[in-house]
Every structure is written in structure tokens, then in C-alpha cells.
Structure 1
Amino acid sequence: MDLHEEGCCSGFHHGRRAMLKSTLGLVALGAMGVTPLLLPGFAEAAALTKAQRDAMTPDQVIALLKQGNERFRAGKLDTHDYLAQKRASAAGQYPAAVILSCIDSRAPAEIICDTGIGDTFNARVAGNIANDDLLGSMEFACAVAGAKLVLVMGHTACGAIKGAIDGAKLGNLTGLLDKIKPAVEATRFDGERSSKNDAFVDAVAATNVRHTIDEIRRRSDVLAGLEKDGKIKIVGSMYQLVGGKLEFYA
């Protein structure tokens, strides 16, 4: 099996991303300091080609996700032709990013960033932690499939964070929450350190995102090496349930 060809996605598509007529045009504009994927008037397509995706920089991918979030917040989501996306991506996948986010039903990354089939790999686990299986999945996404960005996405009012603060015990969930507890202990906070204090919960969630980024770099030589070589970026973000803003930080 060719790992590069298996999968369901192949890029930012018609109606949602300004596409370039050629990879050479993308590279030329990039050399002039212009962000070509954000410019209007280029040919659009249902699926991004491998050449076009490979010509993108991690910063351009971040910019596209930010733009998608702005559309989401404004209630001006692009029209998604999922059948066209499905057909265009059936032969291979060229997603631009892998997003590690929480399983919370209120925080679906694809909708929050106004993406569709083929745009991103999406890994979800309570508390957006990095375990061995998720690290392997992200290594596949970047080292094999060519994604340019690893985005760790936490969110406000996170139930997993509250459970870690409270020391909740429940089957296999206990071990998962134990992975979040270091973020609880490391969070500097002057107010009440309680799961009932929304500000403290959100502060721990932000700390947890940064801890997850540190874990990715520490435990994955593959991803750390790609980042060191400038081939990918590993960044964090926090999604605000109230207002819908996705805030990015390194």
C-alpha cells in the first residue's frame, strides 16, 4: 500500500480557498513576500494538488485556518460541495495540517476553521493530549503525507480539564486525566484553584496545550526534526466557546 495515496482528502478547494493556476505562480509570489493563497482572482478547484500543497509554507497554512475561523465567527461559511470534494480527493490525500483537538462536541475543528474533506487531518482525544498512538498518527500526517502544520487546539470550559483538577476517577479515563495533572500543577493562578472557577479552568487548558506541544517535541524525534528543518510548524491554539474565536500562539 502506498501511504501517500491512501486516504480521503487532497486540499483546500472550490469556494473556500483562492487557488493558484500553477505551483510556479505560488512560489514566485511567495518569493516576493506576497501571500498568494490569500489573494482573489486565481483559478479555483475542488482539490489541492500535491505540488500546490507542497509549495505552501506553514505560515500560509496558519493564515488559511485563521481566515476560515473568521468566516465561521461572521456566519459567512463557504459553500461546501462535499460530493465534489469526495470525488476530487478519492485518488490521494494532500492535507495541509494535522489538528490535535479535544473530543468536546462543541469544538469541531473542521467547522471552526471552515474546512472540508481533504483539508486537514483531525485527531481528537479528551483534553487534546499526546499519547503514543496520536504521536504516530501525527508523524504519518507530516513525514509521510506531507502536512505542513501541527496545530494543538484546546478550548474553554473543557470537561477533561475540570476532571483533572478534581482528580476524577473513572475506568480508563483516570489514566488519561493523569496526563493533564502536570498542567494543573504548573498553572500559575492567583484566584481560586477550583474546577468551579472558569478562569482557572481556562488557564489550565492553555497550559495543557503548551504541555502537549512540549510533549510532541520531546517524544517525537520525527516531528521535532521536521520543525527544526523548517518543514513544519508545531503551534498551539485556544478556542473560545463564547464568541467562537480561535486564538493561536507558539
Structure 2
Amino acid sequence: MKAHTKETQSTMTPDKALQFLKEGNVRFQNNLKANRNLLEQVNDTSEGQFPFATILSCIDSRVSAELVFDQGLGDIFSVRIAGNFVNEDILGSMEFASKLAGTKLIVVLGHTSCGAIKGACDDAKLGNLTKLIAKIKPAVEAVKEPQEASLRNSKNLAFVDEVSHMNVNLTIKRIHDESPVLSEMEQNGEIKIIGAMYDVNTGAVEFYEA
């Protein structure tokens, strides 16, 4: 399988990009890989890149977007930060990826048993991590159940995963609210912005499609 070219990118649609990721995740779950020569892809992309998707994911070592979606060099832009939230720098990167570099799909990828989410649930304090966790706290507050304080912490994995899901949704809302560029592109059908959750136990990705 060769790297994407300007021609293949030009025929890509948001729905087709999503299908590519779904098919890649199925291969990953079945321990299969597309037949690709990575060194050949290095040569193919030496003078330019034409990715079809942008994926915002956590820095968690188990959640490499290239691996879980079985993609090669030049296929996706991968943005990683603990807790997969956005700030102006990440929004700017997404705008570059979509408006200038031509990707058709933005995926906000959360995952189960997320350490950053657990830290936010426990209101952890540690250097600069304290400020990072503060950006995830709105997702904790937005999950209303359970109300009992003793169940609203990292020991309750169901609560942690619900907060992760909420964090994905709130991140997408922020993209819409804070990036007129991306919102307009989505309204025009040029791109799609969706959420997803990776299960660290199974390797499966569940997409949250409207």
C-alpha cells in the first residue's frame, strides 16, 4: 500500500475517511496489517504529504492512532496531549491540517481508564499537571451521576469512562465554538468532526456518530 497522494486525497470525502479508519481498526483488532512498505512511504512522502484525517488523542502509550487505525506514513495527522482536550495551539494545528493540508476528518479520540481523566476525577495536584487537569474538570462536573462523592473518583472506572466520553463531547463543542474556520468547513460538508472512544481492553474504537 502506497502513501496517499494529492490525487487520492482529492477524491477523499469525510465519510470515506471515516470508513478507512473503521477498516483499519478492524484489521488492528484482528492482528492484521495492510501490506505497506514504510521505507517506500518515506520516499513517497519526501516531497509532500497528503493525509486524509486528523486525530486528537491522549499521550497514553497504549493509544497510538497510527497503530490502532493501522495507518502508515503520510496518512494521518496525529495530535497528542494528556486528556485529549484542545487549546488555541491545537486548534491552530487542526486548522492547518484541514484548511491548508486537506484532511477531511477530525476525530477526537478518548480512551477507557484514562490516567488524565482519573487525575481530574481525584482533583490531583502535581506541578504543571495541576493546570492541565483543570482543563478536564468541566467534564467531571458535567457528569451528574453518581451524586455520592465516594463514587466520583478514579476507583469507579464506570464513572471515569463516562467522564472520558463527556470530555470528548465537550472537546468537540469547543472546536465548534472556538474555531470558526473548522465550523464553517464542517457546515459546508468539507470535513466531518466526530468523537470516538478506544477500549484499552479490546483494542476496539467506538465512533460517536450524529
Q: Structure 2 length as normaliser, TM-score?
A: 0.95
- Counterpart CA distance in 1 for 2:140 and 2:165 is 10
Residue 152 of structure 2, aligned match among 184, 189, 193: 193
Q: Which one is further off, 187-196 or 50-59?
A: 187-196
1:218 corresponds to which residue? 177
Deviations 1:167-192 (A, max 9, x none): 11112111111110000010132372
2:80 corresponds to which residue? 124
CA RMSD between the two structures: 1.0
Question: SS of the residue aligned with 1:118?
Answer: coil
Aligned residues: 206
**Structure 2 counterpart of 1:199, one-letter code:** A
- Counterpart CA distance in 2 for 1:61 and 1:204 is 27
1:248 corresponds to which residue? 207
Deviations 1:4-59 (A, max 9, x none): xxxxxxxxxx1xxxxxxxxxxxxxxxxxxxxxxxxxxxxxxx12221221211101
Residue 53 of structure 1, aligned match among 2, 5, 9: 9
- Counterpart CA distance in 2 for 1:150 and 1:186 is 23
Identity %, equivalent residues: 52
Following TM superposition, by how much is the alpha carbon of 1:209 offset from its aligned partner in structure 2, in angstroms?
A: 0.4
1:233 corresponds to which residue? 192
2:50 corresponds to which residue? 94
Deviations 1:87-119 (A, max 9, x none): 001111110011000000011011000001010
Following TM superposition, by how much is the alpha carbon of 1:207 offset from its aligned partner in structure 2, in angstroms?
A: 0.4
Greater relative contact order (CA < 8 Å, ≥ 6 in sequence) = 2
**Structure 2 counterpart of 1:108, one-letter code:** S
Q: Structure 1 length as normaliser, TM-score?
A: 0.80
Unmatched segments (≥5 aa) in structure 2 = none
Q: Structure 1 segments of 4 or more deviating over 3 A?
A: none
Following TM superposition, by how much is the alpha carbon of 1:244 offset from its aligned partner in structure 2, in angstroms?
A: 0.7
- Does structure 1 conserve the Cα–Cα contact (< 8 Å) formed by 2:34 and 2:70? yes
2:34 corresponds to which residue? 78
- Counterpart CA distance in 2 for 1:188 and 1:244 is 28
